[in-house]
Amino acid sequence: VHNNSNNASFFVANEIADLIRQRQKEGKKLVLGLATGSTPTKAYDFLVKFHKEEGLSFKNVITFNLDEYFPMEADSIHSYVRFMNEHLFDHIDIKKENINIPNGRLDREDVREFCDDYEKKIQDAGGIDIQVLGIGRTGHIGFNEPGSSLTSKTRLVRLDRVTRLDAASDFFGLENVPTRAITMGVGTIMAAKKIILMAWGEGKSIIVKEAVEGPIRESVPATFLQNHPNCSFVIDEAAASELT
């Protein structure tokens, strides 16, 4: 628990940067799982700062984003492609071919094959070394809404009404929020070697308590993280306020 989200984000960015540098020294790649949304933006700002001011290089980094709305054009203001470019990729030296984000522009009949390929690509890259997560008020990680099983893999899902309501202002109305998304599964996330979940503010305090202290169950997918051997919740005091 950090006293504010700025310090917490600095801590997370440093954890990532240290591992990038360590792998670089060993001449190895680092596979990074990334999230979008309001939570990780400060950590991405710090990574950009480390790149610009300290020469942190992302040439040995491969990224896999958790999710994308479906359908979604890549150049839409709402796309996670655009989000990632704006907050991170446009400002660092990552190779374009090392960036992976679920494709929201596919024909419906091609989605299954794309999702299977996404899983295979993660495996071929050697698996995810660090997965960055936020948490939704439904207890979702990625877009694994209540009811997602522990073994779920990358797939097309329906978004919970609460999740769509939370996105409504960004989309200028609930009716404009997509009803579906492509997301890595709980099983995909659980296979990561290290997981860092971030959460800020009082609005997340009840779901953080549920995720950390509640019984492990499909109705709160984040509770599955309790069984991960190397998962930390990096949170601010407000998000920690309901913890016993």
In the complex, the residues that contact ligand F6R under the rule CB under 6 A are 35-39, 66-67, 134-136, 140-143
Helices (H), the chain: 5-25, 41-54, 80-87, 111-124, 161-167, 186-190, 205-213
Nearer to ligand F6R among residue 25 and residue 170 (C-beta): 170
User: Which one of the listed residues 53, 54, 145, 202 is annotated catalytic?
Assistant: 145
Nearer to ligand F6R among residue 39 and residue 98 (C-beta): 39
At its nearest, how many Å lie between ligand F6R and the CB of residue 96?
20
Residue number closest to ligand F6R, CB atom = 134
Nearer to ligand F6R among residue 7 and residue 22 (C-beta): 7
At its nearest, how many Å lie between ligand F6R and the CB of residue 203?
8
Nearer to ligand F6R among residue 54 and residue 73 (C-beta): 73
At its nearest, how many Å lie between ligand F6R and the CB of residue 54?
26
The structure tokens listed for 227 are 């069984």
* 145 annotated active-site: yes
Helices (H), 93-244: 111-124, 161-167, 186-190, 205-213
Q: What is the CA radius of gyration of the chain?
A: 17
CA 126 – CA 33 distance, rounded (Å): 12
Look up residue 108 and give its DSSP letter.
G
At its nearest, how many Å lie between ligand F6R and the CB of residue 180?
14
CA 219 – CA 49 distance, rounded (Å): 38
Phi, psi for residue 49 in degrees, rounded to 5: -60, -45
Helix (H, G, I), strand (E, B) or coil at 202: helix
Residues serving a catalytic function are: 145
